[in-house]
Amino acid sequence: MTRKYRLAVVPGDGIGWEIVPVGVQVLQAAAARGGFELATETFPYGAAYYQKTGQFLPDEGLDILRKFDAIYFGAVGLPEVDDTLPAKLFTFHIRKSFNQYVNYRPARLLPGIRGPLRNKTAADIDFIVIRENTEGEFVQVGGFVRPEAPEGFALDTSVFTRQGIERVAHYSFRLAQRRRRRVTSITKSNTLIHSLAFWDRVIAEVSRSYPDVTYRKMYVDNASANFVLHPEYFDVILTTNFIGDILSDLGGAIMGSLGLGPSGNINPEKEFPSMFEPIHGSAPDIAGQGIANPIGTIWAGALMLEHLGESQAAGLVVRAIEKTVQDGVLTADLGGTARTIEVAQRVIQNVREL
């Protein structure tokens, strides 16, 4: 019987409607090579949907998405919509509702790409940022007290649970066992002496269950410098929601462009669908021009195939991306002249021919 997967396709806003459809075309080419089927259904959810309906998702949106094997997502947000709403009402809402507690973001300098670090090669930049994705600093617990008054104040509270820390730690150490057996926990426990000291303590406890993995702790200020000076230090990075959000974009930058970076919001137990997306935003300033870099979205599709169990097809897509950039088929953000569709067509060609 042919293997078949149901994908919910949510382009979102801005360039999402250009990069996600071509990403689907790449996935279909990989499925044809891999002997499985992808059934897709597209949904218009996002900030533009909010402008029309007052909601980022309809009331039944989660129930609709829950029925799919995975969600293939673009980006959400428009200048006309309050920038605090997309995370609260869409991305965080889905991540928490579907228990997508792992945020998985590879940072790898692709062969043929000239990164901004002049002395570093593809051998030096190859790590994965694992970010705790459902609690920590982004739980949005807090509020305002008389913000217009001189004595007014605002409060945001971080929430770290033992269960939440342990489960993302186990995921990270198991991932490291399949890679180069190194985990670096990035924290700031010398100043956040309760929440992140607790993080350190629990991570250290988990590390003792993995004697074959080298574990070390690094403060985020030092880690930020080492991303630029010594990216070769890192293999699997384990960090909190807020710190990981920043560091993974820095990882994208040292790859050469945020347009290259993929991301997975993963429920490892597969009790709920996981969601895969590029790390960049909706870029409404270039929407409709056909110049957006689709590589991050295509690579996110490869992560999705890997999660679904189609490892060979996932590897084929990654190799097709590598061949495309090695051949110099690059969008403007990488110094090239290729258009979105031209990059995607070359990736598809490579998927079919490799």
pLDDT attached to residue 1: 81
Q: Are residues 152 and 213 located together in one domain of the fold?
A: yes
Whether 303 has a pLDDT exceeding 90, the answer reads yes
**Over 90: is that where the pLDDT of 216 sits?**
yes
Place 66 in a pLDDT band, splitting at 50, 70 and 90: very high
The band of 297, judged by pLDDT with boundaries at 50, 70 and 90, is: very high
- Whether 343 has a pLDDT exceeding 90, the answer reads yes
CB atoms under 10 Å from CB of 222, counted, come to 10
- Helix axes of 241-255 and 220-229: crossing angle, nearest 10 degrees: 10
Last residue of a domain, one of 255, 285, 306: 255
The reported pLDDT for the residue numbered 139 is 87
Instruction: State the pLDDT confidence band at 69, using cuts at 50, 70 and 90.
Output: very high
Average pLDDT of the chain is 96
In terms of domains, do 25 and 87 share one?
yes
Confidence of residue 223 (pLDDT cuts 50, 70, 90): very high
Strands 274-278 and 182-187 turn out to be: unpaired
> How many secondary structure helices (H) and strands (E) does the chain include?
12, 12
Mean pLDDT in residue range 186-193: 95
Q: Are residues 233 and 294 in the same domain?
A: no
Say if residue 337 is in the same domain as residue 324. yes
Identify the H or E element spanning 326.
helix 311-326
Task: Look at residue 29 and tell me whether its pLDDT is greater than 90.
Answer: yes
To which H or E segment does residue 109 belong?
Answer: none
Work out how many domains the chain is built from and give that number. Answer: 2
What's the pLDDT tens digit per position in 124-165?
Answer: 999 999 999 999 998 888 999 999 999 999 999 999 999 999
Residues 144 and 215 placed together within one structural domain of the fold: yes
Q: What is the pLDDT of residue 193?
A: 94
Are 77 and 167 contained in the same domain?
no
Strand pairing report for 70-75 and 3-12: parallel
Are 81 and 167 contained in the same domain? Answer: no
148: Cβ–Cβ under 8 A, 6 or more apart, which residues?
none
The pLDDT, as a whole number, for residue 140 is: 87
Q: Say whether pTM exceeds 0.85.
A: yes
Tell me: do 231 and 321 sit in the same domain. Answer: no
For residue 231, pLDDT beyond 90: yes
3-class state of residue 136 by DSSP: strand
CATH label of the domain that carries residue 183: 3.40.718.10
Residue type, 166: E
Q: Which residue, 230, 255, 280, sits at the end of a domain?
A: 255
- Among 202, 223, 255, residue at a domain's last position: 255
236 and 307 in a single domain? The answer is no
116 within 8 A of 231, measured Cβ to Cβ? no
Average confidence (pLDDT) over 64-74: 98
Can you give the pLDDT at residue 340?
Answer: 97
- Residue 342: φ, ψ to 5°: -70, -40
Average pLDDT (227-256) is 96
Regarding whether 168 and 48 lie in a shared domain, the answer is no
CA atoms within 13 Å, Cβ hemisphere of 325: 28
Look up the domain containing 293 and give its range.
Answer: 1-106+258-354
Q: Are strands 36-42 and 262-266 parallel, antiparallel or unpaired?
A: unpaired
Same domain, 160 and 270: no
Percentage of residues in the chain having pLDDT higher than 70: 100
Cα separation, 294 vs 106, in Å, equals 16
Q: Is the predicted pLDDT of residue 296 greater than 90, yes or no?
A: yes
CA terminus-to-terminus distance, the chain? 26
Percentage of residues in the chain having pLDDT higher than 90: 96
Same domain, 163 and 271: no
Q: What is the pLDDT of residue 181?
A: 98
